[in-house]
Amino acid sequence: MDYDKIIFVTTDDTSVGPMAAAIYKGIVEEPPVPVISKGLVVLFSEPVNPKAMDVLKNNNVAQMKETSSQLEAGDITKRTIVFASGVREKEAVLKNYEGCVDPEKVFTFGEGAGELTDIEDPYGTDIIGYERCYFELVRIVKKIVYRLENNMIG
């Protein structure tokens, strides 16, 4: 294992990132490294979207963080694996944290799963939209866990 932390990065860290980190922690009960979520544009800490929290509770997923937080240079080392929700977020991580991050350890969620999938933020949808996002994240995060455990990433 050649990584010291896993960070799920989204634009605002209010739904998709926190759900992905919580799902990961539900699959890997005792992760060997810290698993967190952060946002690229978090001007002030906001509560995680209540619909995201409800979907996780309804699916018996614990360990959900309650507020958003900004990705800071100090969060990343050259050994940190970053999963960005989409290509735009991946490019922002590579550009804005150029001196901190190893470009070979930055992936979209889909790339981490071995796919060309971006995760759509369900913001503005009803609870069903958040449920759909949750089940897509479960599918993607399971593949990420598998690929990490089999040294296919990192």
pLDDT at residue 39, rounded to an integer = 98
Q: With pLDDT > 70 as the criterion, what percentage of the chain qualifies?
A: 100
Residue 146 has pLDDT above 90, yes or no: yes
pLDDT at residue 1, rounded to an integer = 73
Residue 62 has pLDDT above 90, yes or no: no
The per-type count for the chain, helices as H runs and strands as E runs, is 5, 4
Q: From the CB of residue 75, how many other CB atoms can be counted at a distance below 10 Å? A: 19
143 within domain boundaries: yes
Q: Where are the alpha helices (DSSP H) in 28-102?
A: 50-58, 87-96
- Cβ atoms of residues 106 and 90 within 8 Å: yes
Q: 120 is written with which tokens?
A: 């759509």
CA terminus-to-terminus distance, the chain: 7
103 within domain boundaries: yes
23 within domain boundaries: yes
**How high does pLDDT run on average in the chain?**
95
Q: Which 3 state secondary structure label does DSSP give 100?
A: coil
For the chain, what is the domain count? 1
9 closest CA partner among 104, 111, 105, 109: 109
Domain around 55: 5-149
154 within domain boundaries: no
Mean pLDDT value across residues 33-61: 96
78 within domain boundaries: yes
Mean pLDDT value across residues 126-148: 97
- Cβ atoms of residues 119 and 140 within 8 Å: yes
pLDDT at residue 117, rounded to an integer = 85
112 within domain boundaries: yes
pLDDT at residue 154, rounded to an integer = 76
- Cβ atoms of residues 9 and 38 within 8 Å: yes
Mean pLDDT value across residues 87-92: 97
- The domain that holds 127 is classified in CATH as 3.40.50.2300
User: Residue 5 carries which DSSP code?
Assistant: E
